[in-house]
Structure 1
Amino acid sequence: MSEYELEVTTGDMKYAGTFDNVFVTLIGTEGQSERSKLDNYGIDFKAGKVGTYTLKTNLSLGTLLLIKVEKDPLLVLPESEWFCTKIVVTTPEGDVLLFPCHRWISRGEMVELRGGRAMKAFEDDHPLLIEQRKKELMFKKSIYQWKILAKGLSHINNFNSPSELPAEVRFSESKSTEVANTQTLTGLELKFKGLLGSNEKWEKLDDMKRIFWFKKTAMSEYVAEHWKEDDFFGSQFLNGVNPNVIKRCFELPSNFPVTDEMVAPFLEEGSSLQQEIKKGKIFLYDQKILDGIPTRVYNGDSLQVSAGLCLLYLNPEDKLMPIAIQLQQKPSDQNPIFLPSDSQADWLLAKIFIRNADAIDHQAVQHLMKTHFMVEVYTVATLRCFPVIHPIYKLLLPHFRYTLHINTGGRTNLFGPEGPLSISSPGYDGLIVFMKKALSELTYNSLCLPYNITARGLDSIPNFYYRDDGIKLWNIINSFVSAVVNHFYPLDIEVQKDTELQEWISEIFTHGVLGKKASGFPSHFNTVDEVIKFITTVIFTATAQHAAVNNGQYDYNSWMPNGSLLLLKPPPTTKGQSTMETILETLPDVGETAIFAAILWLLSDKYTDEVPLGAYPTERFDEPAVQLMIKEFQAELSYLSEEIKARNSKLEIPYNYLNPSEIENSITI
């Protein structure tokens, strides 16, 4: 008779425990144990509890390879999913073996856990492990499949609603409850005030401050007070929610005929536009990608979106100031260039149209397409191509927590034809066309922050905290990824012969950028350095980049004039005709404003089960060297967090979106 001691750990999050029966079967090189129920006196699987069980077997198991875990119903009670963190087994010989799990297990589900160090496919040598690896991948590919949302867009997962998703990738019950409560309470507040569903126009701008009594932030209050100011308008292109669009201007576009006479009053005395361009002080915001995008019909008329251009000047006080705005791409008498010296209403309305274009670009391309949709591709490819024992699976999976759930639900509740984004100026169909156009122009290096910054000529522009914090974060993540990848792939030949790794990047190339070689995305890996760069990009996108474009949405855009997705009147075609009344008629009505503000609150809210960047469950890796790498990674993130806090304490407008302590480890909302 042989005895095995099992320590079974249940996750410490809310609702992680279960009353269902749990059975295990130990599988070794020489045989397998009987299917045994884990049952001690009292309640076994409470959240945060470690249960110790003795499993006796008459069989000789040899070297322990696998644990089969099954959860069967306790018939008198409803389904309760179980979050199993890990099982640690002490063998009769005294060996202690870790079997990581870190996933939800549903009733009737069978999960096979592998123990020991991370293994690449060509390193498995036992027939049982080779067969188990093959079966696992076949099963995962049957569960996780690709689906086309719209021709020309990145492919998505095959599930139609979050309820269809496997338990391992769904929200926890506590997360689902909190999100639902936020939606309910927000809706109730807006209904109580008579805002939801109202088609009344705002009588004055200050009335918008009553949208939410309690849902305010220091930054949202600041924006409401300062949004008209030119220096604040300019600063948002660097440190707002869309910091990836402006570029240094090396020469004026031929379709933007700004003259020295127009802008001389706004430049340093005695200078000229060409001199300031040569000094690297002129920057360009150009939304030509929006030109020709279809828009939706509103009260019988087609709405319009400004494919605008904005020239910005870095003045001697290092403030980025708008000095010229043209609201359409083709210059004409009906497309004037607006200047700060124009009437207050003309200049303010021109800036509102630029902010509208920026909000549309931000939400559809920078937020949804470049983070949510791209990370979904990385997630599905990872689930399909890697078994749980693979080192890259262990490294990446914590960065994909909840992403499939939020994307699957969001495509219906937020982005779908009936979702709030469908009432934006482009509408659902226009947003789809816009995103297709953006994906066709997407490049690999545009997602790699250091290359992105250099390509846009923004290496030295001052007060660019997104760049400063982002580059430091990129380097910290890159250093960690380099250490882990080099540990498992000491030679390029090991990258080349890892068939699972090669299939993974091939699927991403095929389903993410639709096989377009011009994107620069790799379709295969030849070197260790190529793997390091790509995985750094994946982790940075799923964590830091998403935080940069998501976490400040309520701060900056809940004050609707500063970033509305919907404008009801066309861009002005002449000067001197606009008034504050024109601006109020252009902005969304009361009900539309309330819908947008509610969505931004939901997307920016904090939830109790958040996992911060770098909080790897070390038990995924059994290797002490990798566990040390994780600790060093966490320490570097902590140092950067303190550095950012110290910097922010001296700023009028703190930039905290890339503070590691404020960044989630994955896209969860």
Structure 2
Amino acid sequence: MVSYKVNIYTGDLAHFSTFHDFRITLVGTDGESNPTKLTTWIPSFKLNPFTHKVECTTPLGELLAIIVQKEHHLVFPNGSWFVAKVVVESPMGDIYQFPIYRWITDCKDHYFQEGSAKFLSQEEENITQLCWTKDLEEQRALYSWDQPKDGLPYSIKAESYSSLPLDASFSNKKKIEMWLTIGTALVELKLTEWVDHKMKWTNIEDIRRLHCCHRTEISEYVYQNWKEDSFFGYQFLNGVNPMMIQRCVTLPENFQVTDEMVFKDGKQSLTDEMKKGNIFLCDYKMLDGVKANIIDGKQQYLAAPLVLLHKTDDKLMPIAIQLKQIPAEDNPVFFPTDSEWDWLLAKTFVKNADFNMHELSSHLLRTHLLAEVFTVALLRQIPMMHPLYKLLMPHTRYTLMINCLARQLLISDNGIFTKFASSGGEGMFTILRKALSSMTYRSLCLPDDISDRGLEDVPNFFYRDDGLKLWDIIHSFVKGTLQYYYQSNQMVQEDQALQKWIGDIYSYGFLSEKNTGIPKRFDTVGELVKFVTMVIFTCSAQHSAVNAGQYDFIGWMPNCPATLERPPPSKKGEATEKTLLDTLPSSDITVQSMAAVWLLSKESTDSEFLGNYPEQRFIEDVPLKNIKVFKEQLNELSLQIKARNKALELAYTYLDPEVVENSVSV
């Protein structure tokens, strides 16, 4: 007889062990053990293992797989068991690791392969091929595509967030924290007494009473500077939506601005300044024709402005704003030389447009919904022993759960966005469809996007500076890891699981639109490395850039109102402070929008940040070394960003790796 030592790691405060007995079978190249009954009836709240022995008549050879079965329990028939990993020591002293990190909820046989990453073509044994097949069968039974509204990406099929598989759900800690946060948001912000008030503001400083209850260092800076043109321009670079601005080389035909309008002294011309690269444009044409919301029976308004900016003394200064796309007598172009209230009102319509484009296109679509597509495709097409699964799983954490909550609580017929945003209701789906149809692969790859928008040398563009460094670090990590497994382009071409993964993304995420530039398949290692870099960047860094600063920049409502209650001005010279106040949302809408962006940008206490992988899915030396180098490079970048920020009047922190989560989890 020979004895195998089996260590089963199960649980922490979020994942605890089972009251069930279970059986384990060890399978090797020279045979398999009898199913051995093991007992673990004491809940474990730490990662110390349960240690057991499996006796065999002869050695099993090289250990290939384990088969685990949870036995039926009369008292706890539906009990679930989370298995982190199993480590087996053979009689000869060889160590075999089985990283699992899954819940077992039924009493069927579950097959888990030894933890070295492999491709199907490398599976020579029947048992390892069976592990591959069984894994995909189980995953596809749990995760299915669901067709949303026409023209939108597919999503996970789930009746509600509570019907998701346990592996896709929040930890118990995260669940409790989330519901407490939602339940106490208005209390914590000290806004409860304002919820039922529907009064219009009579003074800008009245809004300050709400903002005073919860301020951040940046939101206070926003309050102090929101009227300033230089800060208005700054936010297109380093606010929550750095995705709209582009260098202007030719004025749009529908933006009829002349030299005399913007350069009163006659010393400069638009043509010369465009040639120098000093003119920039933000065009919200995607909002043109979008049906504005009706809130509490009152019509709301949403403009589709064009904004022209001029780089002056390393600052971006707005020089012209047109609030509607079609030039007309009742669609004047506004300038900084207009009256204070005319100009501020025009900028307010721009900021409202930016809010709606940010939340629906830059935030929801380009991070949340795409991350969900990447995740579902991964779970359905890539088995757990595949290197791509091991690489990407940390970047899918909580994504399906948070998106189910978003569909239920934010963008449903009775959701928060429908209740307080000017594009809520029918309008938000119009914007999402337009945004998806115009989105390209290049726009998702930061180096390409920055180049295509002509923003390579814009000064004080910290989103670009930090983002490109993060992109390069992620790219280096992905390249080193994937090249270790894919040693030729042919290996990429012949990996059917990989090709099915990108095929799902192309079909279900981008609706098979060729114009997006999304690949249908991969032919080279370089193509694969770039795409996986984009996936990780989107799920981590890009989401942080457009999510983490929401309360900072939107908490002071006049800087970025969610909706507006009067139409865009059709004449100049008529706006007053009262005009602006009548245009801004009422107090109850202000309160709800403040609470929403506070919730959306609130960091969880169980967040996992970029480079931290507590679930050790890789076991080989090369990928483990790559992870170590990855963390070191991220730490160095974090130090550089902190040092840079000390010299800035307004720090840019959203791409500091210390605050960038691995996944779209909030």
CA offsets, 1:7-35, max 9 Å, x none?
222344x2322352252412314544344
Aligned residue for 2:292? 295
Name the CA shift for 1:137/1:147 in 2 (closer, same or farther; >3 Å).
same
Higher mean C-alpha displacement, 613-622 vs 219-228: 613-622
State the TM-score, normalized to the length of structure 2.
Answer: 0.96
Give the superposition deviation at 1:190. 6.3
Q: Which amino acid aligns with 1:441?
A: S
Give the superposition deviation at 1:45. 2.4
Inter-partner Cα distance in structure 2 for 1:581 and 1:223: 21
Answer yes or no: is 1:419 the counterpart of 2:415.
yes
Aligned residue for 1:613? 610
SS of residue paired to 2:653:
coil
CA offsets, 1:251-304, max 9 Å, x none?
111111111121114x8x722222211111110011111111122234656432
Q: Which amino acid aligns with 2:524?
A: T
Answer yes or no: is 1:442 the counterpart of 2:439.
yes
Inter-partner Cα distance in structure 2 for 1:546 and 1:212: 25
Inter-partner Cα distance in structure 2 for 1:284 and 1:522: 30
Residue 374 of structure 1, aligned match among 370, 373, 383: 370
Aligned residue for 1:218? 217
Name the CA shift for 1:77/1:176 in 2 (closer, same or farther; >3 Å).
same
Give the superposition deviation at 1:188. 3.5
Give the superposition deviation at 1:4. 1.3
Inter-partner Cα distance in structure 2 for 1:296 and 1:252: 31
CA offsets, 1:332-370, max 9 Å, x none?
110001111111111111001000001100000000001
SS of residue paired to 1:87:
strand
Q: Which amino acid aligns with 2:436?
A: L
Inter-partner Cα distance in structure 1 for 2:502 and 2:306: 37
Aligned residue for 2:54? 55
Give the superposition deviation at 1:101. 1.5
Q: Which amino acid aligns with 2:137?
A: M
Residue 478 of structure 1, aligned match among 471, 475, 479: 475
Inter-partner Cα distance in structure 2 for 1:565 and 1:637: 35
Name the CA shift for 1:206/1:377 in 2 (closer, same or farther; >3 Å).
same
Inter-partner Cα distance in structure 1 for 2:160 and 2:405: 6
Aligned residue for 1:630? 627
CA offsets, 1:607-657, max 9 Å, x none?
111101011247311211111011011111111000000000100110010
Aligned residue for 1:123? 122
Answer yes or no: is 1:457 the counterpart of 2:445.
no
Q: Which amino acid aligns with 1:363?
A: E
Give the superposition deviation at 1:377. 0.5
Aligned residue for 2:247? 248
SS of residue paired to 2:263:
helix
Higher mean C-alpha displacement, 81-90 vs 245-254: 81-90
Aligned residue for 1:389? 385
Q: How does 1:323-402 map to 2 (within 5 A)?
A: 323-402=319-398
Name the CA shift for 1:176/1:108 in 2 (closer, same or farther; >3 Å).
farther
- Give percent identity, aligned residues only: 44
Aligned residue for 1:7? 7
Give the superposition deviation at 1:37. 4.2
Structure 1 portions without partners, runs of 5+:
none
Give the superposition deviation at 1:585. 1.1
Aligned residue for 2:484? 487
Aligned residue for 1:542? 539
State the TM-score, normalized to the length of structure 1.
Answer: 0.95
Answer yes or no: is 1:578 the counterpart of 2:575.
yes
Inter-partner Cα distance in structure 2 for 1:214 and 1:607: 21
Q: Which amino acid aligns with 1:519?
A: T
Inter-partner Cα distance in structure 1 for 2:37 and 2:594: 51
CA RMSD of aligned residues (A): 2.0
Give the superposition deviation at 1:2. 2.7
Q: How does 1:313-332 map to 2 (within 5 A)?
A: 313-315=310-312, 317-332=313-328
Inter-partner Cα distance in structure 2 for 1:35 and 1:600: 53
Answer yes or no: is 1:552 the counterpart of 2:529.
no
Q: Which amino acid aligns with 2:147?
A: I
Q: How does 1:223-234 map to 2 (within 5 A)?
A: 223-234=222-233
Give the superposition deviation at 1:378. 0.5
Give the superposition deviation at 1:416. 1.2
Residue 509 of structure 2, aligned match among 512, 518, 521: 512
Name the CA shift for 1:551/1:75 in 2 (closer, same or farther; >3 Å).
farther
Higher mean C-alpha displacement, 105-114 vs 530-539: 105-114
Q: Which amino acid aligns with 1:394?
A: K
Answer yes or no: is 1:530 the counterpart of 2:527.
yes
Aligned residue for 1:587? 584
Q: Is the 1:20–1:73 contact (alpha carbons within 8 Å) kept by the matching residues of 2?
A: no
Name the CA shift for 1:298/1:117 in 2 (closer, same or farther; >3 Å).
closer
CA offsets, 1:499-545, max 9 Å, x none?
11111111110001100111100001111111011001000000000
Q: How does 1:106-185 map to 2 (within 5 A)?
A: 106=105, 108=107, 111-185=110-184
Inter-partner Cα distance in structure 2 for 1:607 and 1:386: 29
